Every structure is written in C-alpha cells, then in structure tokens.
Structure 1
Amino acid sequence: MGKIIFFFLLCFNTLSHGQVYTKKSDNLYDTVYSADTFSKKSEQDLLQTCNDIYTESINKHDGKGALQSITTIIRVYSELDDQVNVLKRIEEAISLAQNEKDYYRLSLLYYYMGRAFLHVGLYTKARKAFDIGLETVPKAGSKDKAHILKLQHYGGIAMIFENATPPVGTPRTPLTDSMTYYAKKAYQEARLISPKHPEKSRWLGIRARIIGSVLICTLYFEEGGQYLNEAESLLSTLKDKRFMISLYRFKGLLAYNSGLPNSNQKALALYEESYRLAKIYDIPAETYFITDALASLYSEMKMSVPARLRADDSKKVKYEIDQNERQAIPIAEKINVMSSKNYNSDKLFYIIVPFTIIFAGGFIYYNIKRRGKKEVIREDINNFKITNIKSHTEDISQLLQMAKENDRTFYIIFKQVFPEFQNKLLSINGELTAADLELCAYLKLNLQTKEIAMYKNNTVSSIDNKKSRLRKKLNLSSETNLYVWIDRI
C-alpha cells in the first residue's frame, strides 16, 4: 500500500505533550513522528502502530491520546476508501471527542462520517453530518482551523451532487451549478488560511483542482484549465505527490478535448503519469478512475493489449470498492447522526412522545367513535404508526431549515426523505419543471405563500401565480385545497 505521510504528521504532532508513558509507548510515538520511518512503512504497519498507541492510551485512561489515535486511524481508512472500518470506529471516536470537548476533532470526525455516508449512498445522513460539523466549527479553535474544517465540509456537500452530475460532455445543469457553488465556497475558505500556515498550499491546491475538474466535466474548458494550472503550481512543490494523481488525470482530459494536434498523445502522457503515481500510492478510487480513463483512450488509439489490461485493472478495483461499500451499508444504516447538543433534546423526546401518543390515541378514539365505521377504524389505526417518528421528525426539521436558508441542496435531500414524491407527480404530468417540483416540495412541508416568497426572495404575488399555474398543470379545480392534495401524494 502507499504512504500516507501527511495525515500522521498533522494528527500526531501534539500527541505526547504532557503525557507520561512506558518505554514501549514512547517508542511508538517516535515511530509515528519519524517522517523517514513513514516513507518505509505501509499503511497497514502504520495503522497497527496507531492501534497500539490507542490501546496504550485506553489502558492509561488517557482520553486525549485515545482520541488523537483513533481520529488518525479513521483518517487513514477514509483515505483508503475503506468505509467499513471508518464506520465501525466513528461513533466511538465522536463520543471520545465529546467527552474531551475537542471540537476541532469532533467537527473533523463528522466530516469523515459524512464522507462515508456519501460513498454508500446515504445522502440525507451525509448532509446531516456535514451540517453538524459546520455547527461545531465556531468552537474549534483558531481561525485557520475553522477555515480548514469549513472547506472540508463545503467540499463534502459539493460531493453530494456527484450522484446526480451528468457525464462528461454535458453542459451545466442546476445540480452541477450547485456543486460548483459549494466547491467554490471551499476554495474561498482555503484562500482565507493564513499565508504562514504550512499546509495552505496543499489545501488551496486541492480545492483549485476540484473546481477545475468540475468545470472541465461541464465543458467550461478555459476556466477549468486556469484552476488546474493554479493547482499544479501549488501542488507540484509538495513532497507528497498523491494529490497530483487526479490533477494529471483532469489535465489529460483537458488535453484530450483541446482539439490541438497530437491531443491524444498529450492526454496519454498525462494519464500515464497519473497511473504511475496511482500505482505508488495505491488509493483505490484514484486507481479506478485512471485505469478506466486509460482503457478508454488506449481503445480509441487502437492499442488493444494495454486497453484490455487497464480495463481488467479497472474492473478489479471497482469490484473491491463496491464490495467494501456493500459491507458498509448495514453499518451505516444503524448509525444515528446526532450532535452533542441533541443529546438533551433526545431525552426530552422520550418525555414528550408518550404524551403525544396518549393525546393522539385519544383523538383517534374520539373520531372513531364519532364516525362509527369499521373501515375508518382500520384505516386510522393502520395509519397511526409511531415507529421512526424521531428520525422522520429530524428529517423534516432539517428540510425546513434548508428551505429557510434557500439551500441549493434542498430538493436533493427532500427526494431522499420522500423518495416516491417526484415520481407520483410526474405520473400525473410529465411536463412538470424543476421549479414546479420544488414548489410542490415546499407545499408538502406546509410552507405558506409568504414564507416561500421570503425564502426564495420573491414577491407574494409571484408565488401565488406559480401556485395557480401549478394547479392548471395538475388539473386541480379552484375548490381543491392544494396543501391537502399535495400532502396526500
């Protein structure tokens, strides 16, 4: 496996301050601190070292040391796209961070949690994790720490749109615009890092590369190329060349689409350099993307043997990634995304819900008795489901907050919470626009005209007109209550 030097240098540079450990533990720290040792050890060796330090910290009742160790372990597994091992440890790590009141690592851990959720397709949970991480940032410490945390969470939110991003060659859409928006927010946070910070070049270079990649995939080649050039000037000076893998891949894609003479050969040279680095560092996702790109280009250039070899490599890596993500899904589904401030409200929930159930039960009984119909009894009882009340309530609260902030990811998260809503509407009228569907989502949340107008920065009359047009498209009479009708969808 490749070398992950940066993560250990970043996380363990403060590990031993104020601690008293055995000689064995001191030797482990010396191993972790030594950059020369890092360059000769595989990730598995380094993970074992960190696990030893974690065990030693637990035995010494040193919560700080345990937290720093397990956070670094999670960093490495996240870098290796090993979502199973990230998710197995994340709740314990978050609990440690909360107990130690280490808000920097707490925010960072929510980023890794969100990233893992993204990989297994749980986008609603991912967004919650990133939001909680952002909420924690003000307590994280220095301004530079805050900027570094924010850029990671904004970058994570941008990744949500990758699921809906069109293939290369498709112009911008609202989804890719939103992805670019959050990628640029992350880039701006990187620019705000102090010039004296030793990692500014790396953070800014990575963010510039990501924006350039998005722009190139949506045919904005000139603008994307400018960002890639900035990224190259920043990242090429670093000893750690992992970050050049995807940079060379997208510079190759830019060369391929340049239309210049020998564009295929230029693209091939860049792809092969990306592949060379991918072999050294052995990061699964990067290896998959570059082998897939090489297989396609080799095939186009009638180089059948290398095309077949790279295609086989690509399939093998993709299978391993998919297998890990399949194993991670049941673990991820069991994790309840909850910030520290939610624990008290969680206790309150268990007080309120029984009273709510009693009240609702009495209300249903009253209606049943009044109506006196057996079919109504069956319908009311079957519809009164109290399972998952809490999680659904949290989803609705999140959506209402996103609507209030006019958040660009609102409708993506809404579709995760109400997966059949859009299909049912489109089955009634397949010509409904994205704006129509978003308005229906607001109505589903029972937002009133004035609220929608305020959140969308529109006039009340404009929203009323949109609602009238929506009625016509849905073939609803003026007597039909639009909110009630939408609520039944």
Structure 2
Amino acid sequence: MMIRSIIFLLIINFNVIHAQNSFSIKKIDSLITILNDVNVYEDLGEQEMLRLSTEVYYQSKEIQYKKGMVKSLVLFSNIYLEDTRGNYHECLNKVAEGLPLAEEIGDYESSAYLFYYKGMVLFRLGYKGQAKFFFDKALEISSNIPDNDLKGMVKYNIYYGFSGLSPKDTVAELYYGKLMYNEAKKLSKKNIFRSGFIAAANTYIGSIYSRKKEYNIAETYLKDAEIFQKEVRDKRNCVSIYLEMGIIRQKQDRNEEALEYFLKAISLAKKYNMPYFLLSIYIPTSDVYGKLKDYEHEAFYLKQYRNLSDSINIEEKKMLRNNFKKINNEELAASSVVWYYLLAGLFFVIILCIIYIIWVDKKMTTKKYQEEQTLSYNMDGEETNNTIPIVNLNNKSLKSRISGLFKNGNKKALQFKDVHTISTEKKIDIVTTKELEELYQLAYENNLAFMQGFKQKFPIFSKGIITNYPNWVITELEVCFLLKLNLSTKEIAQITNSSIRSIESKKYRIRKKMNIPSQENISIWLNNLTF
C-alpha cells in the first residue's frame, strides 16, 4: 500500500513539473518571437532587448531548455556586435557559450549566425583572414537549415559580411551585393523581413554604383530601396538612402535637393543614435551650404563634424584598447587552425631570414669594397645615370618601402649623398638611403623623435607645407609626413595606435587643407610636390 502511494505521488509530482515546464517553454518561446520581430529595435530599444534576452536566458537555464538558451545567446551576440560602444568581448563570450549548445541540439540556424557574428568581430578588429574563415564556416553550415526562408536570411547576412572584406574592389562588392539581393527576393512574401532586406540590398548596390559615378543606375536602385523601405517601420536604412541620394544630387550640382536629402538623413541618424553616419553626412552638408553661400551653416556643420570626429576618436581608441586587452593573443590563436599554421609559417620564414642575413653579412665582410650605383640629374634636371644604389638593409619592410618611393613617387623627390649639384629653382630635399632607413625605423618604433627627424631630413618639404598650408593639427601633420614616406593607411594606423577610420578622417582633412583632388593618390601627390 505504501509503495503504491509513493508511486502515485511521484506521478502527480512529475505531471505538475511537466505542466510548469510546458508553461515556461511557451512563455520563453513567446519572448523569443517578440525579440525576433522586424520592428523590435523600433518598439523596444537596445536596453529593453538586453533585459528580455537576459530573462529568456535565465528562465531557459533554470529548466534546462537548451533551445531557449541558444536563441538568447544569438540575440545577445547580435546586440553586443551592433552596440555603438563596440562590446566585442561580450559578443565573443556569448558566441563561445552558444556554439556547443547549438551543435548539441542540431540548431543549424543559430550555429551559422554565431559563426557569422564571430567573423564580424574579427573583421572589425582588423583580422580579415580569420573573419573569412568564420564566414566560410557559417555559409557551409547554413546549407543544412531546412527552412528556406531562414536559410535565405542567414545567407543574406553572411554575404554582407563577405562584401566588407574587399572595400575597394567594386566588382567583388557588386557580386556579393547582388547575392544579397537574390536571397532577399527569394524570401516568401509573408516573411516580415523581406521588404527590409530588399531595401537594404538595393541601397548597398546603389551606393556602389554611386562610387563608380554611374549615377543613373545608382538612383534606380536607391528609388527601389525607398519603395520597399516604406513597408518597414524601422527607418534606419533610410539614413543610407538619403545620404547616397544627397551625394548624387551634389555631384549633379542640384544643391538644394542634395541639402534636403542630407537634412533628412541627419534627422534620422540622430533619432537612431548613428554617430558614424552623422560623421559621413556633416561634411557634404557643410559643402552644400558653402555652394549655396550660406556660410553660417557651412561653418556650423563643419564644427559639428570636428566635435563628433574628436569624440569618436577618443571613444574608438578606448574601445579598441579595452577589446584588445580582453581578446588576448591566446584566444585569437585558438580561434582557427588557419591562424596556427600562419604563426608556424611565419616562424619558419623568420628563421630563414635570420640565416640569410647571417650569410649575407659574412659574405659582405669578405669583400674589399661595395659597388655603388647612383641616380643623379644634371643642372637641367635630365637623368645622367639610370641606376639606383645597392642598399644592404636587414629589414625587408624598410627595403620595400624605400623601393616603393621610387616606383610610385617622383624620382626627383629623393637625391643621394653622391649628388652635390642641384638646381636651386627646384628646391628639392637631398636625402640619403641611410637617412631614409633611420627615418623609417623611427616611424615604425613610434619614436617621439620622428617628427623632428623628418623636419631635419626634409626641411624644404616641411617648411613648404607649414608655410603654404597653415593651421595644421599636430596629428594631421604627423600623418602627412608618414604619407610622404609612402606608408599605407593600415601601417599608419598601427604606427600611431589609431583606428583605420581615424586615419582615413585625417587623410580627408589633409586633402581638403591642401586641395588634393580625390582621384589622386595622396602619397604620390605629396612626393610630386615642390616649393
């Protein structure tokens, strides 16, 4: 009798627990549905989304509902990725926790998204090779998603990630942009994301054609984007549409129409807290006001740009510092097999380089003299000897940079120590190979003596740009000097501990200050400059 009673109580208890779990699962699934709605950012905002995602996670964990845990971790990853403060470390933490759970329950959609988010974090931190590895992984997993709509949405996002890996290759950008558009068009008409996806893809393709100066084609895509965008309450994509339309109108000298688009874009960018878009809009808005001879507003928007740019630079440096502190080398190295082999290969190359340097050094000591060839010019500026000195540099990167100056720049911009005759009318700096090597070394070491060293070795150039283009900011002048040495944007960013976006902004201001045409290579232009 007692045994029957115990069994009966156990059955009752199991049924009660099962009923409670079923109720909790339904509640959790309802919250997940709300958080995946197309207008969720518009309706709830980021903070409320974080709160609800946290509730979903802990309720799911309490009853060991793994699907709920995975879906909440995907939501967390997306929110942290798109956070304006760049909370990349938290994003990677959620990805690391979510991937094994998603694999365990066979949730291919969540696995693909989590790999995509990890790739996006690494891409934004400058690790393009690793980012591509995770985009490839996400694309491979997405093929297993049974639901065609879910599969299409995942692939749309992954193609967007791929498109960013080649920012100056318009062929590659158009290829991935059209893949995005095709995936969006294939979504069923009942899919609530379809219109927004088509609008965003059209906007992206339109912006590429605008950069290619094919304005009629660009405008067609942008107008289609605007039509589909009307069906979506979240109007963030309209910022991009209005910005691109404004730029096209500005290029066509239809300045009043351009201004109307820019002001609408500014209004929406402020509403949705999109500071990087505001940074992109303020300068063309200022330029348009200048063309309309409204100098008060021209100065106002230029000041807005400077204030926001300084603020973003400070926040950007802080964000990158925090992320690099948290995302240590061990974590990044463990992120892919590719990285491991890259390090092993690099180590092997370094060993070979050391052996080669020792061999060359030993060989050089046995020689009685080193043959030098010189590049010189007569008083009329005609080339008298078509050779360049043989330079023994241990650092391959220094050698390639010096070589780059001769390939891409004005050969007359650099003269060697054996040349003592030079036209005073030309006013060209005389710089030896050794002095160049020392200057590059100071630059790569981010040595405080670099600025002074550059002024000593390029006195005519330094004095010329400071005299002819006054009101330099010290950081802009430093970037200008580094560009004169033919360093790339990425190299300058590494040397100055800045972001690539920050260096691009400084290059833009240098172009404006010195009236350098946008189609000109800035390093070549500086090397061709004479005073």
The TM-score with structure 1 as length reference comes to 0.59
Describe how 1:307-318 pairs up with structure 2 within 5 A.
307-318=302-313
Q: Does 1:270 align with 2:250?
A: no
CA distances 1:171-195 after superposition (whole Å, capped 9, x unpaired): xxxx222222222222222222223
Q: Summarize the Cα distance change of 1:321–1:48 in structure 2 as closer, same or farther, 3 Å threshold.
A: farther
Pick aligned residue for 1:241 from 235, 238, 260: 235
Task: State the 1:100 CA deviation.
Answer: 2.2
Q: Summarize the Cα distance change of 1:63–1:335 in structure 2 as closer, same or farther, 3 Å threshold.
A: farther
Letter aligned with residue 177 of structure 1 = V
Structure with greater contact order relative to length (CA < 8 Å, sep ≥ 6)? 1
CA distances 1:122-164 after superposition (whole Å, capped 9, x unpaired): 11111111111111111112122222222211121111112xx
Match of 2:208 in 1: 214
| CA distance in 2: counterparts of 1:271 and 1:101, whole angstroms | 47
Q: Which runs of 5+ in 1 are unaligned?
A: 1-16, 166-174, 354-374, 383-419, 433-489
| CA distance in 1: counterparts of 2:27 and 2:182, whole angstroms | 44
Pick aligned residue for 1:73 from 61, 73, 76: 76
Q: Does 1:115 align with 2:120?
A: yes
Q: Summarize the Cα distance change of 1:22–1:159 in structure 2 as closer, same or farther, 3 Å threshold.
A: closer
Q: Check conservation: 1:204, 1:234, Cα contact below 8 A.
A: yes
Q: Check conservation: 1:57, 1:66, Cα contact below 8 A.
A: yes
| CA distance in 2: counterparts of 1:148 and 1:38, whole angstroms | 18
Secondary structure of 1:139 counterpart: coil
Describe how 1:185-334 pairs up with structure 2 within 5 A.
185-259=179-253, 263-298=254-289, 301=292, 302=295, 303=297, 304-332=299-327, 333=329, 334=331
Letter aligned with residue 139 of structure 2 = L
| CA distance in 2: counterparts of 1:27 and 1:139, whole angstroms | 25
Match of 1:46 in 2: 49
Match of 2:159 in 1: 154
| CA distance in 2: counterparts of 1:425 and 1:306, whole angstroms | 38
Pick aligned residue for 2:62 from 49, 59, 80: 59
Q: Summarize the Cα distance change of 1:40–1:231 in structure 2 as closer, same or farther, 3 Å threshold.
A: closer
Q: Check conservation: 1:184, 1:211, Cα contact below 8 A.
A: yes
Which stretch shows the higher mean deviation, 79-88 or 132-141? Answer: 79-88
Q: Check conservation: 2:174, 2:205, Cα contact below 8 A.
A: yes
| CA distance in 2: counterparts of 1:130 and 1:78, whole angstroms | 15
Secondary structure of 2:235 counterpart: coil
Task: State the 1:86 CA deviation.
Answer: 2.0
Cα RMSD after superposing both structures: 4.0
Letter aligned with residue 105 of structure 1 = S
Letter aligned with residue 322 of structure 2 = Q
| CA distance in 1: counterparts of 2:42 and 2:173, whole angstroms | 35
Which stretch shows the higher mean deviation, 268-277 or 295-304? Answer: 295-304
Q: Summarize the Cα distance change of 1:23–1:227 in structure 2 as closer, same or farther, 3 Å threshold.
A: closer
Secondary structure of 2:166 counterpart: helix
Q: Summarize the Cα distance change of 1:241–1:212 in structure 2 as closer, same or farther, 3 Å threshold.
A: same
| CA distance in 1: counterparts of 2:222 and 2:314, whole angstroms | 30
CA distances 1:95-127 after superposition (whole Å, capped 9, x unpaired): 222222211111112222222222111111111
Match of 1:368 in 2: none
Q: Summarize the Cα distance change of 1:95–1:430 in structure 2 as closer, same or farther, 3 Å threshold.
A: farther
Match of 1:177 in 2: 171
Task: State the 1:207 CA deviation.
Answer: 0.6
Task: State the 1:425 CA deviation.
Answer: 11
| CA distance in 2: counterparts of 1:143 and 1:28, whole angstroms | 23
The TM-score with structure 2 as length reference comes to 0.55
Task: State the 1:26 CA deviation.
Answer: 9.4
Secondary structure of 1:160 counterpart: coil
Secondary structure of 1:224 counterpart: helix
CA distances 1:445-480 after superposition (whole Å, capped 9, x unpaired): xxxxxxxxxxxxxxxxxxxxxxxxxxxxxxxxxxxx
Q: Check conservation: 1:193, 1:200, Cα contact below 8 A.
A: yes
Match of 1:141 in 2: 146
Letter aligned with residue 244 of structure 2 = F
Task: State the 1:239 CA deviation.
Answer: 1.0
Q: Check conservation: 1:128, 1:337, Cα contact below 8 A.
A: no
Count of residue correspondences: 336
Task: State the 1:326 CA deviation.
Answer: 3.9
Secondary structure of 2:234 counterpart: coil
Q: Which runs of 5+ in 2 are unaligned?
A: 1-19, 345-350, 359-395, 409-531
Task: State the 1:312 CA deviation.
Answer: 1.4
Q: Summarize the Cα distance change of 1:30–1:202 in structure 2 as closer, same or farther, 3 Å threshold.
A: closer
Task: State the 1:203 CA deviation.
Answer: 0.9
| CA distance in 1: counterparts of 2:151 and 2:32, whole angstroms | 27
Q: Check conservation: 2:243, 2:265, Cα contact below 8 A.
A: yes
Instruction: Report percent identity of matched pairs.
Output: 22
Match of 1:6 in 2: none
| CA distance in 1: counterparts of 2:262 and 2:324, whole angstroms | 32
Letter aligned with residue 223 of structure 1 = I
| CA distance in 2: counterparts of 1:39 and 1:24, whole angstroms | 22
Q: Does 1:101 align with 2:106?
A: yes
Match of 2:495 in 1: none
CA distances 1:226-247 after superposition (whole Å, capped 9, x unpaired): 1111111111221111111111
Q: Summarize the Cα distance change of 1:269–1:131 in structure 2 as closer, same or farther, 3 Å threshold.
A: same
CA distances 1:268-325 after superposition (whole Å, capped 9, x unpaired): 1111111111111113433433345434544565321233124313432354345324
